Structure 1
Amino acid sequence: MGAAHLSGAEQVYSGSTPSLPPRGLTVTSTLPPETGASNNRRSAIHLLIGSLVCVGLGQSLLFTVLPPLARTLGLVEWQVGAVFAFSGLMWFVMSPFWGRKSDRWGRKPVVLLGITGYGLSMALLIAVIEANLAGWISLALAFPLMVLVRGIFGLVGSGAFPAAQAYIADRTSRAERTSNIALINAAFGIGVVLGPGLGALLIGAGLLAPLYAVAAIAFFSALMITLFLPENPVTRQQRQERAASRKLSFLDRRILPLAIASVVMSICQSATMQTAAFFTMDLLDLTPESAALKSGIALTISAAASLLVQVVVIRQFGLGPKVLLIWGAAIALSGYVVFLLSESYVPVVLALVLHGVGLGMLRPGLGSAASLTVGPGEQGAAAGLIMATGPVGHVLTPFIIMPLYQIYIFSPYIVTGVLMAGLLVYILVNPTIQAVLGRTHV
């Protein structure tokens, strides 16, 4: 493919290479490191990553607070899962849409819309819960309202992450792509790590006070993006080139195998995250309050391990998709085996750490593989399609995993172990994935 003259940082590399990539596999160059633009680029990426931290904050607090709170409200396990499932369904439907829109409109408007939508969803969810606790509305009304307002996150908030990943892809070379895309996942992980600490600081003001703080942080982040996140206007030539993103779908041979792998990862993640607090409570026979504390600590350690991999290990050792996908699946699989052997708290923590490290490698591995296999005009669409698979697990878990959990508390980890073992084999034998991994050194 010939060089395309794009504005700003986004260019198609046209120099000589040992072997030319196939059609659609286009290289995006970074800004020259010797210019001040490089510092501006780094500042922009840091601002973008910082704005995504609030999503991790909210998720970690919801996963640790909502299960015990649900039993106080009178909700059963499948209803808790349904709150996440509807949002996940909306995310699945809308993430590719917003990814394509970011190719057409530009990255900044879609990121801004997503962060604002997340803040609105969180604020409304808290308001519904508070109204029920105060006796203003019945549980019969509160439950569907919780499902609907949480759905705003999937409907609108789903635009933030694919647009953010495409923003980074626009401004990085192939060599830098994986480590910088890992920062997208690291942003979520930072939020997960900070979430319990924020909760501990604010819980004295009320059970839901930390969630109000998350909503406020989301709105503040939206303001910072509006004021300080730079973006080059989308030129007519770029808009014409990016029109190809409208044709990219799950059935595209470059995307389908990666999307299948991402679906399996999503199911394993959701099954583990949605059952961790219940599993800790039931295995150790804890009170809801004690379970919230212990599961919160375990999930925080797991997130910290995942964060260490994404921020330090991947960048320090220059790990590429090949290592991340193969070893990520193997390490996650070992975590599910440890779950099945758990009889006390420490093995549960170890299992969650292995789960966190494994998925912390798989996510950026899949994201960077998808980014490297498409051209600059399809970055948003590719990111949207891969990220659309993320909530599939949240949609399926309430109807498959949670009923199995009620029958036998170890059954979720039998299912995830089998799925992850299958994913590892799939990565090793699928010709499309192997072709993508074969173009990377690590």
Structure 2
Amino acid sequence: MLATSVGQSVMLATLPSMGRQANLSEFHIATIMSSSALIFAIGTNVWSRVARRVGFKRTLLIGLAGYSAGTFAFASAWMAGFSGIISGTSLFLALLISRSLQSTIMSATPPSAVGYAVAISAPALRVSAISKVTSASNVGQIIGPAYAGLLVGFGLLAPLYSIVVLTLLAFALVLYKLPVLPPQNSTEQKVPTVALEDKPPRVPYVFVASCVCVFAAMAMMQQTMGFFFIDFYGKSPVEAARLVGFAMMMSAVTSLTVQFTIVQRARLSKEIMMSLALPLLSLGYLILYFQQSFAVSYIGMAVMGLGMGMAYPSLAAAATTYCSPSQQSSITGLITATTAMGYIVGPPLAATLYQVNIALPFAAASILMTLISCVVLLTLYKIRRSAAH
């Protein structure tokens, strides 16, 4: 998860700048992001079931191998565009196809990693277990932008090509160091789960949908930030990539701090964390909307990181806790696909709003998080009222 998170954060930090450098529009970049996310969402659900049959380690190895090969193909397509070998529609199609093929295989990585964590943890420790997996992602989000900012001086593609090496190292580490678990279908009855005969069967899907909205808002921000720094602050593509990388690093640092100090030490229940996280996300995006300087932008990203540090682990834990044993496989698959689902909707919506006002995507993300906060609070109230009876 660390290696793939570094790769994803590098790509997100540099993609808008690479798009401007290659004369691609905001809609081209949004289409690449959302279409590959659609394939990723479908893939994670499929790979979640495959992992339970063939084993989490084997599935994780497949995902890492696909990530390495796909990143190399995607970077090479950009190289062809920057070199003038292909341009315009041909470049767009090459990028779209290579990124989509990459998503098909690399989508095996999240469900196998999260599934491994869930399989070896008791329900009471599930928040902490999922948090450890997401902490690896957050460490990657800290390292990735700084890593991209360091290497982007050697060219916009240098960070992408270096990620191939990093994911191959992760492949070797998993191959030789990660213990093998029996296929989940042979041990499914031995894994402790929380039976919820008295819980509404649709409750887990409320938390899954909330996760999707959390990542849709994040996708809107990431789609917009690079272009915003170029258009509002007048920065070059390379300068914008560096500044976006630093902003994303600020968010990841605060997110990781929350996970280590609050989430993994279980100082707050998942219900309280959800109640705090979603309003914080709304506030963070609102600050980004009103920004007039880089300092305000970084404050907004830091606040957003506080919310993200609690949002995903608590929502994911709630979804897997408030589901029946028969729902466990499908809910785990959906949870690991929520990032991709959010990125299906977020980028094209942000690109559309960007044409109206370049700061409007931030406002839309803030409104979305406010609405989701209300839905989650209402759902938690209904759960408490049901439990009281």
Give the TM-score normalised by structure 1. Answer: 0.80
The structural deviation recorded for 1:252 is: 5.6
Partner of residue 293, structure 1:
242
Read off the aligned partner of 1:301 and give its amino acid letter.
M
Partner of residue 194, structure 2:
none
2:280 equivalent to 1:328? no
2:380 equivalent to 1:408? no
Aligned residues: 381
Q: Is the 8 A contact 2:51 2:183 kept in 1?
A: no
CA distance in 2, matches of 1:135, 1:163: 39
Give 1:338's match in structure 2, choosing from 287, 292, 298: 287
Larger radius of gyration: 1
Partner of residue 80, structure 2:
131
Return 5+ residue gaps in structure 1 as ranges: 1-51, 243-250
Q: Which one is further off, 183-192 or 388-397?
A: 388-397
What does residue range 109-258 of structure 1 map to in structure 2 within 5 Å? 109-234=58-183, 237-238=186-187, 253-258=202-207
Partner of residue 315, structure 2:
366
Q: Which one is further off, 394-403 or 201-210?
A: 201-210
Partner of residue 266, structure 1:
215
Residues 78-136 of structure 1: CA distance to partner in whole angstroms, max 9, x if unpaired? 11111111110001212111112222222112211112211121111001111222222
2:7 equivalent to 1:58? yes
The structural deviation recorded for 1:350 is: 0.9
The structural deviation recorded for 1:77 is: 0.7
Alpha-carbon spacing, 1:433–1:54, altered in 2? closer, same or farther (3 Å):
farther
Partner of residue 384, structure 1:
333
Q: Is the 8 A contact 2:56 2:181 kept in 1?
A: no
Residues 21-52 of structure 1: CA distance to partner in whole angstroms, max 9, x if unpaired? xxxxxxxxxxxxxxxxxxxxxxxxxxxxxxx1
Read off the aligned partner of 2:358 and give its amino acid letter.
I
Q: State the secondary structure of the residue aligned to 2:339.
A: coil
2:38 equivalent to 1:89? yes
Partner of residue 73, structure 1:
22
Structure 1 or 2: more helix by fraction: 2
The structural deviation recorded for 1:359 is: 1.8
Read off the aligned partner of 1:196 and give its amino acid letter.
P
The structural deviation recorded for 1:327 is: 0.4
Alpha-carbon spacing, 1:77–1:214, altered in 2? closer, same or farther (3 Å):
same
Coordinate RMSD, CA, aligned: 2.6
The structural deviation recorded for 1:238 is: 2.7
Q: Is the 8 A contact 1:280 1:345 kept in 2?
A: no
Q: Is the 8 A contact 1:369 1:436 kept in 2?
A: no
CA distance in 2, matches of 1:192, 1:329: 20
Q: Is the 8 A contact 2:146 2:246 kept in 1?
A: no
Partner of residue 424, structure 1:
373
Alpha-carbon spacing, 1:410–1:137, altered in 2? closer, same or farther (3 Å):
closer
Q: Is the 8 A contact 2:56 2:183 kept in 1?
A: no
Q: State the secondary structure of the residue aligned to 1:153.
A: helix
Return 5+ residue gaps in structure 2 as ranges: 192-199
Give 2:347's match in structure 1, choosing from 390, 395, 398: 398
CA distance in 2, matches of 1:357, 1:233: 36
Partner of residue 307, structure 1:
256
The structural deviation recorded for 1:174 is: 2.5
The structural deviation recorded for 1:385 is: 0.9
Q: Is the 8 A contact 1:102 1:380 kept in 2?
A: no
The structural deviation recorded for 1:145 is: 1.4
CA distance in 2, matches of 1:241, 1:316: 26
Percent pairwise identity: 26
Q: State the secondary structure of the residue aligned to 2:347.
A: coil
Q: Is the 8 A contact 1:92 1:389 kept in 2?
A: yes
CA distance in 2, matches of 1:125, 1:174: 39
